[in-house]
Amino acid sequence: MRKIGIGIAGLGTIGLGVYKHLEGNRRLLTERLGLELTVTKIADLDPERPRTPMPPRELFTNDWHDLINDPEVQVVVELMGGIKVPYDFVTAALEKGKIVVTANKALLAERGKEIFALAAEKRVPVFYEAAAAGGVPIIKALKEAFVANHIRSMHGIINGTSNYILTRMSQAGLSFDAALKEAQAAGYAEADPTLDINGWDAAHKAIILASLAYGFWVDTNDIHVEGIQNITAADIEFAEKLGYKIKLLGVVKADEACVENCKVEVRVHPTLIPKDHVLASVNGVFNAVAVNGDVVGETLFYGRGAGQDATASAVISDIAEAAVALEIPRPNFGFVPHGLYAGCKPIDEVITPYYLRLAVVDRPGVLALITGILSEEQIGISSVIQPESSEEQTVPLVLMLHSAAQGRMNRAAEKIAALDCVKCPPQVLRVETFA
Amino acid sequence: MRKIGIGIAGLGTIGLGVYKHLEGNRRLLTERLGLELTVTKIADLDPERPRTPMPPRELFTNDWHDLINDPEVQVVVELMGGIKVPYDFVTAALEKGKIVVTANKALLAERGKEIFALAAEKRVPVFYEAAAAGGVPIIKALKEAFVANHIRSMHGIINGTSNYILTRMSQAGLSFDAALKEAQAAGYAEADPTLDINGWDAAHKAIILASLAYGFWVDTNDIHVEGIQNITAADIEFAEKLGYKIKLLGVVKADEACVENCKVEVRVHPTLIPKDHVLASVNGVFNAVAVNGDVVGETLFYGRGAGQDATASAVISDIAEAAVALEIPRPNFGFVPHGLYAGCKPIDEVITPYYLRLAVVDRPGVLALITGILSEEQIGISSVIQPESSEEQTVPLVLMLHSAAQGRMNRAAEKIAALDCVKCPPQVLRVETFA
């Protein structure tokens, strides 16, 4: 029986999960693969930390170079976190001809272009199923299952922390702060949740999915990212009344025609989606990605996007593929760039419907002023909610707006914000109709 | 640029879809794969039939042996339908060392064991992504993405015709016959819809999924299959009142512990599922498979399970994999048998909750008789619906029953059927709680 030597760099939560399940399901893996996956070396700065299960002490080193230089290590698994050290490690591994498995979405989003160029040059593949949507095999779907498809669009709930917070705000009427605290207490948000709630964790995944679908590595500067930190309980409630749920969505979309040379939208932002769309029912920490291909039509993938076990499931599937790839002259080293599409569309040109929530002074003529500005920018109104006036000096005013380019919407929002009768910065959220 | 010669056997709806999209998305496929997929021969009994697009006349032959004997054909695609001729074709191709792609679920369910044994012997792979759930890449998920997982269960809506009929019965209150007629008019059911509505089309797919998950080829005699032909509008309505939808479900489940040596349930039957479960929202001709793995947890795959385009998407992804496999000594020839699990569990031992609908004479004491029989078989009752009595001689009586082995439930149903006060054969449906 052929043995594949695996070196794990970083034995944190995910690394330990990979080790645990390689051991726990060893017989099953061996039967299915016809070869044995064996962890032969582990690089970690803290080998003494108590772990369950505890790998034998002699596997450990605190220097990742030892994985690269060990001839018994054929596949390296990068689970260190951060960008700089992982980049040095991954590129050193490729230079040495060692197949790379990584779950590091930030690394690939920021340095993917260079990494995959080096992988292609060295003819050594990089696998990264766990870098987007954890246990959900969406990378494999895009690379292999939908190879015959021009991708019309992808809509993903790809950050479990944000989805947990929005779910709790919706289901229990919590404020953003209260829901975030609850997520932290439950272990679904880190002590510093910045990357999760500001949208950038989802953005890293959206960059990877978009790059795979469209054959050019998407630049972080070419996409639009907003987080959920400004979503209020009032927004959730108004959206509900209007028939929508608010989700942090990664949206990747080809121009209408979805032909070659089209431009691609890549954006992450809180989004109103119709209550009866299947993505509206994806709750808690679960992830889901809806993919629409020009041949396959609508599809959806759902599962756990994070956590020790689900992520380990994806990493081990990559290790298994890496083991097969060791023997073969693969034509695909992780990402195949081509020039069939025309790059990213500037966010100002992106057209969507909008939800606009204002806090206005409760007096006659205010609605006329606002609708006047919208009309100047040729933005149509589909509905207005103006709750009955109360004792408060300001009252909410919610408008649902027809599709308009982002640039126009921005101008309108600026003019509206400058009105005397408008008391807080306007809340502008995009609406996705899936039409 | 390397060219891969493809031979298509059977240019019906699916075959033409494969040809159409290989042509239509040729540039994209070539860029992504780094090689060219070219249809070099087509075997069909009716080459003159007008088709859109129309392949060049010189590609056609009416004898499938010509594909096998053509050295330019490296990959054969079996889309003929039926079992006998496809079996002869596929085995002849494997003997000649030609990689096989097939979408034929009946062929694999009935003859898979022999086909995969021959594939392993000849070291020539067979690909069959389109044989279960059409465009949904569930085969790839089981073979590759979830390789690290013991599969705890799979629940699939894997027959679009049945799901369309049940959806229309539920949403429009149609009778079974009216919904079937509508499905036929819409092209979602064939003139002879037997295999779709009697559950066997779904059963063929369930056999393939279960075999892949558990490493032994499931015998058609070891599974339990019921269709939807006896579901009435009343059942749909009562289920709705009780908080359920009725779906034709393929259920594959390991014994509770999901350890090695466990037995596996494989069954297809109309099933009550809780309204808020995501499978309950899978409507119309769409398919979905929920997979629960011991590492990855809950996942779900959703998309079009049939039709020219979605099926072609899956077939072309197989052709692309076959092209890669041409160059490599693959360890997996389509199905890897092993002895980690203990075979199928007899249906009499399968334990589920039940829905029981009776037509009874409207007189005192009837409920006592029926509950007495259930109590003799130690089957608990969780709720009873007895609509107010009317002018009718018989009235419906619906009972929701706690979990019990099928054998016991059968005995109880027989005794109940023999009662004077029970006027029609009892309607017994299983309930799936996903607990």
Q: Residue B389 pLDDT more than 70?
A: no
pLDDT in tens, B60-69: 999 999 999 9
- Is A3 catalytic? The answer is no
φ/ψ region of B433 (left if φ > 0, alpha if ψ in -120 to 50, else beta) reads alpha
Q: Which residues contact B33 (CB under 8 A, 6 or more apart)?
A: A147, A331, A332, B320, B323, B324
For residue B332, the chain A residues in CB contact (below 8 A) are 33-34, 324
Residues A127 and A8 in one domain: yes
CATH number of domain containing B48: 3.40.50.720
pLDDT confidence bin for A389, thresholds 50/70/90: low
Mean pLDDT of the A265-282 span: 94
Q: From the list A35, A136, A314, which residue is nearest B331 (CB)?
A: A35
Q: From the list A140, A293, A324, which residue is nearest B331 (CB)?
A: A324
Task: Tell me what percent of the residues of chain A surpass a pLDDT of 90.
Answer: 88
Sign for the CA dihedral angle at A256, A260, A263, A268 comes to: positive
Residues B186 and B68 in one domain: no
Q: What is the pLDDT of residue B324?
A: 86
Residues A161 and A297 in one domain: yes
Q: Per the structure block, which two tokens stand in for B55?
A: 């392949």
Residue B249 lies in a domain: yes
pLDDT confidence bin for B265, thresholds 50/70/90: very high
Q: What is the pLDDT of residue A337?
A: 84
Residue A187 lies in a domain: yes
Residue A379 lies in a domain: yes
Residue B151 lies in a domain: yes
- The region of weakest confidence among A322-326, B206-210, B228-232, B289-293 is A322-326
Nearest residue of chain B to residue A139 (CA atoms): B145
pLDDT confidence bin for B95, thresholds 50/70/90: very high
CATH number of domain containing B291: 3.30.360.10
Residues A373 and A418 in one domain: yes
Contact A314 B145 (CB under 8 A): yes
Mean pLDDT of the A202-209 span: 98
φ/ψ region of B39 (left if φ > 0, alpha if ψ in -120 to 50, else beta) reads beta
Provide the domain count of chain B: 3
Out of B325, B358, B381, pick the residue that ends a domain: B325
pLDDT in tens, A40-97: 999 999 999 999 999 999 999 999 999 999 999 999 999 999 999 999 999 999 999 9
Nearest residue of chain B to residue A334 (CA atoms): B32
Among A144, A211, A216, most B C-beta atoms within 10 A, so best to mutate, is A144
- pLDDT higher for A390 or A344? A344
Residues B181 and B289 in one domain: yes
Residue B339 lies in a domain: no
Q: Residue B257 pLDDT more than 80?
A: no
Q: Residue A107 pLDDT more than 70?
A: yes
d(CA A154, CA A228): 20
Contact B296 A316 (CB under 8 A): no
Residues A353 and A295 in one domain: no
Out of A276, A292, A325, pick the residue that ends a domain: A325
Residues A261 and A314 in one domain: no
φ/ψ region of B343 (left if φ > 0, alpha if ψ in -120 to 50, else beta) reads left
Look up residue B346 and give its DSSP letter: P
pLDDT confidence bin for A334, thresholds 50/70/90: confident
Q: What is the pLDDT of residue B298?
A: 96
Half-sphere exposure of A193 (CA within 13 A, CB side): 25
Residue B414 lies in a domain: yes
Please identify which residue in the block is written with the tokens 């496809």. Answer: B86
Residue A77 lies in a domain: yes
Residues A94 and A128 in one domain: yes
Q: What is the pLDDT of residue B331?
A: 56
Contact A140 B144 (CB under 8 A): yes
Residues B19 and B64 in one domain: yes
Contact A25 B296 (CB under 8 A): no
pTM of the predicted protein model:
0.94
Task: Tell me what percent of the residues of chain B surpass a pLDDT of 90.
Answer: 88
Contact B301 A304 (CB under 8 A): no
Output the 3-class SS for chain A: CEEEEEEEECCCHHHHHHHHHHHHCHHHHHHHHCEEEEEEEEECCCCCCCCCCCCCHHHEECCCHHHHHCCCCCEEEECCCCCHHHHHHHHHHHHCCCEEEECCHHHHHHHHHHHHHHHHHHCCCEECHHHCCCCCCHHHHHHHHCCCCCEEEEEEECCHHHHHHHHHHHHHCCCHHHHHHHHHHCCCCCCCCHHHHCCHHHHHHHHHHHHHHHCCCCCHHHCEECCCCCCCHHHHHHHHHCCEEEEEEEEEEECCCCCCCCCEEEEEEEEEEECCCHHHHCCCCEEEEEEEECCCEEEEEEEECCCHHHHHHHHHHHHHHHHHHCCCCCCCCCCCCCCCCCCECCHHHCEEEEEEEEEEECCCCHHHHHHHHHHHCCCCEEEEECCCCCCCCEEEEEEEEEEEEHHHHHHHHHHHHCCCCECCCCEEEEECCCC
For residue B129, the chain A residues in CB contact (below 8 A) are 145
Among A19, A258, A296, A324, most B C-beta atoms within 10 A, so best to mutate, is A296
Out of A303, A336, A371, pick the residue that ends a domain: A303
Mean pLDDT of the A366-389 span: 93
Give yes or no for a contact between A194 and A225, defined as CB atoms under 8 angstroms apart. Answer: no
Mean pLDDT of the A350-360 span: 96
Residues A184 and A313 in one domain: no
Residues B294 and B313 in one domain: no
Q: Is B204 helix (H, G, I), strand (E, B) or coil?
A: helix
Q: What is the pLDDT of residue B325?
A: 87
Residue among A98, A105, A143, A205 flagged as catalytic = A205
Q: What is the pLDDT of residue A315?
A: 98
Look up residue B344 and give its DSSP letter: B
Mean pLDDT of the B296-315 span: 96
Residues B109 and B150 in one domain: no
CATH number of domain containing B412: 3.30.70.260
pLDDT in tens, B331-374: 567 788 888 888 899 999 999 999 999 999 988 899 999 999 99
pLDDT confidence bin for A327, thresholds 50/70/90: confident
Q: Residue A390 pLDDT more than 80?
A: no
First to last CA, chain A: 53
Q: In the predicted model, what is the mean pLDDT of chain B? A: 94
Q: Residue A401 pLDDT more than 80?
A: yes
Residue A190 lies in a domain: yes
Q: What is the pLDDT of residue B161?
A: 97
The whole domain housing B160 covers 140-305
Nearest residue of chain A to residue B323 (CA atoms): A331
Q: Residue B390 pLDDT more than 60?
A: yes
For residue A150, the chain B residues in CB contact (below 8 A) are 25, 28
Contact B331 A34 (CB under 8 A): yes
Q: What is the pLDDT of residue B335?
A: 83
Q: From the list A28, A278, A317, which residue is nearest B150 (CB)?
A: A28
Q: Which residues contact B139 (CB under 8 A, 6 or more apart)?
A: B128, B129, B131, B132, B208, B209, B212
Mean pLDDT of the A406-430 span: 96
> Model ipTM?
0.92
Q: From the list A137, A149, A303, which residue is nearest B298 (CB)?
A: A303
